């Protein structure tokens, strides 16, 4: 793996995105455990790419959740529920990934669900330019039912203990003294970490990622660019 600064990482990733040639919008997955830095990296990449004149479509797995009753039908802390019941992959493919793919019409929507109100959404349809870039962050993105929908994939590798520390720090920052760090830890230990372990055992996501980023140290990341699967060929 190569080590460098945050700017070095962003430079390498934007270069990889810029060199990937497709006849349709480039669909980039940014996968990894909760609190691994997926959303932050996607937002940073979006700023750089837009400054270069690229049209960027930002989307996240949190906008393709099933309603709460379905997500937690196996129980609040079920790792199987987190892996099997949480995400509406059919809608992801139908309204976003397939329209932006090689046989799509580039007419897409970036969300079907509103988490705060636990209700479905019907957003206006937008048409992407052929050279647009979709930056999609979320968990479990390199599972079999989604794997062939990505033109480039990035996996954020972080130790589980580090993700728990970040989740607790984030909860404290948002809620202050009212943050329930005990509840956060239970959710991580009982649901989120075992769900990731299930994902690794079933789907081996790091075997499929084009780029692996070790994001334990936010300002001193390391990365490895593979050559086994190239977006140039898609």
Residue 232 belongs to some domain of the structure: no
Tens of pLDDT, residue by residue, the chain (234 residues):
899 999 999 999 999 999 999 999 999 999 999 999 999 999 999 999 999 999 999 999 999 999 999 999 999 999 999 999 999 999 999 999 999 999 999 999 999 999 999 999 999 999 999 999 999 999 999 999 999 999 999 999 999 999 999 988 888 877 665 667 889 999 999 999 999 999 999 999 999 999 999 999 989 999 999 864 444 343
Residue 233 belongs to some domain of the structure: no
Which pair of tokens denotes residue 146? 């989604």
Residue 230 belongs to some domain of the structure: no
SS3 state at 151: coil
pLDDT for residue 170: 84
Residue 88 belongs to some domain of the structure: yes
Residue 87 belongs to some domain of the structure: yes
Residue 112 Cα distances to 38, 48, 95, 133, 176, angstroms: 20, 27, 9, 20, 31
Residue 219 belongs to some domain of the structure: yes
Split into its structural domains, the chain has a count of: 1
Which pair of tokens denotes residue 1? 């793996």
Instruction: Measure the CA–CA gap between 176 and 25, rounded to whole angstroms.
Output: 41
**β-pairing, 152-157 with 119-120?**
unpaired
User: Which CATH number fits the domain that encloses residue 43?
Assistant: 3.40.50.300
Which pair of tokens denotes residue 25? 């919008």
pLDDT for residue 231: 42
* Block residue for tokens 């989740």: 167
Which run of H or E residues covers position 211? strand 211-214
Instruction: Measure the CA–CA gap between 171 and 229, rounded to whole angstroms.
Output: 37
Cβ pair 34, 192 in contact under 8 A:
yes
Containing structural domain, residue 28: 2-224
pLDDT for residue 179: 66
Nearest to 29 by CA among 141, 104, 145, 156: 141
With residues binned 3-state (H G I as helix, E B as strand, rest as coil), the percentages for the chain, rounded to 5, are 45, 20, 40
What pTM value is reported for the model?
0.93
Residue 54 Cα distances to 5, 14, 25, 149, angstroms: 23, 11, 11, 21
59 bridge partner residues: 136
pLDDT for residue 25: 98
């Amino acid at each position: 793996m190569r080590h460098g600064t945050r700017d070095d990482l962003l430079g390498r990733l934007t270069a990889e995105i810029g060199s990937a040639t497709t006849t349709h919008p480039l669909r980039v997955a940014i996968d990894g455990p909760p609190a691994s830095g997926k959303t932050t990296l996607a937002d940073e990449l979006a700023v750089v790419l837009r400054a270069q004149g690229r049209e960027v479509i930002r989307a996240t797995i949190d906008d393709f959740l099933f309603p709460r009753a379905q997500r937690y039908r196996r129980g609040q802390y079920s790792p199987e529920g987190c892996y099997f019941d949480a995400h509406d992959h059919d809608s992801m493919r139908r309204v976003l990934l397939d329209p932006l793919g090689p046989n799509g019409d580039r007419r897409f929507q970036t969300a079907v669900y509103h988490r705060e109100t636990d209700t479905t959404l019907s957003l206006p349809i937008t048409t992407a330019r052929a050279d647009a870039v979709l930056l999609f962050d979320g968990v479990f993105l390199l599972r079999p039912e989604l794997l062939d929908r990505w033109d480039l994939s990035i996996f954020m590798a972080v130790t589980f203990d580090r993700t728990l520390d970040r989740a607790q720090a984030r909860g404290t920052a948002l809620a202050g003294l009212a943050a329930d760090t005990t509840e956060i830890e239970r959710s991580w230990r009982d649901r989120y970490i075992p769900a990731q372990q299930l994902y690794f055992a079933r789907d081996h996501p790091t075997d499929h990622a084009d780029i692996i980023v070790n994001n334990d140290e936010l300002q001193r990341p390391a990365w490895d660019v593979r050559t086994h699967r190239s977006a140039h060929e898609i």
